[in-house]
Every structure is written in C-alpha cells, then in structure tokens.
Amino acid sequence: MKKNKDITTRSSVYKRSASSKIEGKAIKWILLACALLSVATTVGIVVSLVVQGWNFFMEVSLWEFLTGTRWSPILKPRAHGVLPLVGGTMLVSIIAILFAAPVGLGAAIYLSEYAADRVRRIVKPVLEILAGVPTIVYGYFALSFVTPSLQKVIPNMIVFNALSAGLVMGIMIMPMISTLSEDAMMSVPRSLRNGAYALGATRLEVASRVVVPAALSGIISSFILAVSRAIGETMLVTIAAGATPRLTANPLESIQTMTAYIVQLSLGEAAFGSLEYNTIFAVGLLLFFITLIMNLIGSLVVNKWRQKYE
C-alpha cells in the first residue's frame, strides 16, 4: 500500500491527470466503434436490400423472380423473371474471363518467371494504371473504339452488344488476374525452381510444371475474384452492352446486365415504394449474394494455399 502511494506522489510531478486511465478506456471504445462501422456497413447492406426487396417479394413470388425468363418491369404486360438479366451478366462476364484469364495468367508468368527486374519495374505500374482507370472511361472506349472496330470485321453487329462490353471488361480485369497470380507465383519458394532446374528442366518447364501448379490455388482464386468483379461492374455494361433484357448466348446481340438495369431504373427516379423502385433492390440483393459467394470461395481457396507454405 505504502509503496503504491509513493509511486503516485512521484508521478504527480508530471501532471498526469487522474483521468488518463478513463481517457484510455474511452479512446479504446471510440476506436472499436470505428472498426465496428465496417460490420455495420455489411449489416446495413443486407438490411436495406432485404427490407426493400421484401416489399418486392410481397407482390412477386421468389419462384417467379428466380425462374421467369422474361423481364419487363415497366412495360406491360409486366414480367419479373430475372433470368434474362442474370444471363446477360453471365454472357458478358464469360467473354471477359475467357479473354482475361489466359492473357492475365500469361502476363503473370512472364513477369514472375521471365522478366528482368528492370522490365518488371516498368510493366507493373502500367498494368496498375490499367486497373485504376475509372470504368466510365472503359465504357467510352468500348462504345467509341472497340465496337466500331469490331463492326469492320463483323458488319452486321449492332452498336450495343455483349461482345465489345465483354472484351473491354476483359482488358479491365486482366491486371487484377496478373497481379494476384504473379503474387501467388512469386511466393513459390526459389528452392523449388532450383530443384527443377537441377533436374534439367527448361525455363518453360519450371514455370509450367512447378511454379504454376504450386501457385494454382492463388491463380484460381484470382480468376474467381476477377469474375466477381466483372459481375458487379456497372458503367461499362450500361454504356456498351445495351438495355435489352434478353436470354441469349449470342454475343453480338444487345443485352442487359443486372447492374445496368439498376442504373437504368435509377435514372428514371421511380417513386419510393413503387413496385418498379423495389425491383432494383431485389436485383441488387441477388447481385450481392452472387458476388459475396464468389468472393468467399475466392478467399477460401487462397487461404488454403497460404497454409501450405507458411
């Protein structure tokens, strides 16, 4: 007891306020609140989508929404089958990943296994710029450059089509794949490469039979995350892919994606609470779940791979 008192007397020289302990506690709580805001955001997203979507599902059955093949929420006869929007989204995303996966992986292999340090230092920032360009710019690029160029090759292609949107989307998500895949390949230990070289493997054999298989889960996860990004991408498809909800596999046709529909309806400033207004939340809810599941799978895959090396 006596000793304690001694310490207190001595520190009073430094004018440390008695309240500093309380202050420390308060600060901790404030900081915790900041961190919790991110959890609150997730809760807010789910609640707002579910509550507003609920109003929609009071009028349209979930079954009709998920299985209907016609989407016409404004023009009569009305129909609320979301499949055309999902189909449009998938069509664009598939074109994008078919382009971006090989190109992105190729670039990643080049950067991690072949490129000299000097080259890598120049190329990586360029790819980062490509990833940082606002999507509205890609929309402009698709509409004013890629579509006219493609029309020279495919004369009967219409202005708004899934193909140019998909290709430009591919350019957009390619840096994501190359960066994430390269990270995965770079963390494959040097000793494995040496082991393969010592057995007489060529550079390509080291890359394709040792490095890529060892980094495979990181690479696959980069594909999944890139597809998820493509599914959620909005302005590019709104500008370039059209506004025609249609269930088709023909990339030369005009389609509409889930995101583009949300933008289209938002621009009309529909009255709060109307059925049209609520459709965007129903579509948004579906969009949120699809991307959430893909992101979870993506990070699960990549975590599994981390455990293997650490």
Residues in region 3-62 near another protein by CB under 8 A: 11, 14, 20, 23-24, 27-28, 30-39, 41-42, 44-45, 48-49, 51-52
Site for another protein in 114-143 (CB under 8 A): 114-117, 123, 126-127, 129-130, 132-141, 143
213 binds another protein (CB under 8 A): yes
Q: Which stretch binds another protein (CB under 8 A): 64-72, 150-158, 246-254, 290-298?
A: 290-298
Structure tokens at 272: 């709060």
Eight-class DSSP state of 270: P
1 binds another protein (CB under 8 A): no
150 binds another protein (CB under 8 A): no
- As measured in angstroms, the least distance from the Cβ of 134 to another protein is 3
Instruction: Give CA separation, 306 vs 19, 278, 310, in Å.
Output: 45, 42, 6
> How many residues in the chain?
310
Among 64, 183, 205, 276, binds another protein (CB under 8 A): 205
**Buried-state track 28-56, b at ≥16 Cβ within 10 A, e below 16:** eeeeeeeeeeeeeeeeeeeeebeebbeeb
Among 73, 81, 175, 251, binds another protein (CB under 8 A): 175
Site for another protein in 84-113 (CB under 8 A): 102-107, 109-111
Between CA 291 and CA 76 the distance in angstroms is 31
- As measured in angstroms, the least distance from the Cβ of 175 to another protein is 7
63 binds another protein (CB under 8 A): no
Give me the DSSP letters along 111-146. IIII--HHHHHHHHHHHHHHHHS-HHHHHHHIIIII
Here's the x/- map for another protein, 214-253, by CB under 8 A: it reads as: x----------x--xx-xxxxx--xx--------------
Crossing angle for the helix pair 275-309 and 20-59, to the nearest 10 degrees: 130
